[in-house]
Chains A and B, each alone.
Chain A
Amino acid sequence: MKLVRATNSRLVFEMGHREQRSLPQILKLYPCVPPAHHVFSKSDRLPDREGNQQLLDEAMAEQRAENKKQVQALLTDPRKFEHTEAGARLSLSLAEVEWLMQVLNDIRVGSWVILGSPDQKPAELTSANAAHFLAMEMAGYFQMQLLEALGGET
């Protein structure tokens, strides 16, 4: 996946056939981060800590629902993925790039949580952890492509 065109408001990426197949598969995993992962405070010295935690939980739930709708819309919008000989062209506004990075990072972090939040790469890939490891790495791969493309903009 590489950036082929950038304007003030849009970025166009060219994707190979493999990427064209794998991006939707990865995005279908959203949301991945378990709700309990979002902790508002580590201390109990905040006023109304439970209330604040509840507000955060609600905000995250709302965002998850909205993002899920947007993921669905992205995957079913024929204008987004223009088929080419090499694979496909994906055209995104800057806001969509920012949003997609959040979604991909949720999949990356969520897969990592499912793997047991390890500090290191799993020593051995098994049938139980391989899919999550692959999802984590692929989400990270697409995330980095978007980040690099934004690098010229920020």
Chain B
Amino acid sequence: MDSKFRLLDKRGGFFYVGVMAETATPQIQPGIVQTTEDKPKSGLEPGYLVICWNDPVNFMDYVTHVFQTVFGWPRKKAEFHMLQVHEQGKSVLARESLEKAEHYVHQLQKYTLHATMERDE
């Protein structure tokens, strides 16, 4: 039993030490224009942010998996946001209409992630 606990410790989560073998530094290739993740702000339509907050209990791999599942992101992008949550305390995952943002918050909370919706000021 003890060995299982130690094994878990290595994988991140409650007593995590980094679980990712590599950082998710965005790769920029020649000829490809990198765009931001969020849609451009519109003066007409208020935007709502879907934010995921850090906590010491959710496994890093689990958070990455949830981001992939809920947003359909590739693993690299999901890892980038997971690391942002882990290192900066939060990550803005999406800027959406009220309905879509609400949908995402519900989905993330179903996975017991600490996600909220905030108005984009």
Contacts and interface: CB of A to CB of B under 8 A. Distances in A.
Asked whether A and B interact, the reply is yes
Task: Choose among A33, A38, A45, A119 the residue with the greatest number of B CB atoms under 10 Å from its CB.
Answer: A38
A55 interface: yes
Contacts of A98: 69
Contacts, number: 86
A41 B109 CA distance: 12
Interface residues of A, number: 38
A73 interface: no
A141 B59 CA distance: 11
Interface string B100-121: 0010011001111000111101
A101 B118 contact: no
B68 interface: yes
A23 interface: no
B86 interface: no
A103 to B, nearest CB: 10
B116 A140 contact: no
Given A55-B102, A154-B65, A144 B11 contact: yes
Given A109-B112, A136-B57, A147-B65, 4 more contacts: A46-B48, A101-B111, A109-B58, A143-B62
Interface of B: 4-5, 7-8, 11, 13-15, 48, 55-59, 61-62, 65, 68-69, 75, 98, 102, 105-106, 109-112, 116-119, 121
Q: Closest 5 interchain pairs by CB? A: A112-B57, A109-B112, A105-B112, A45-B119, A41-B116
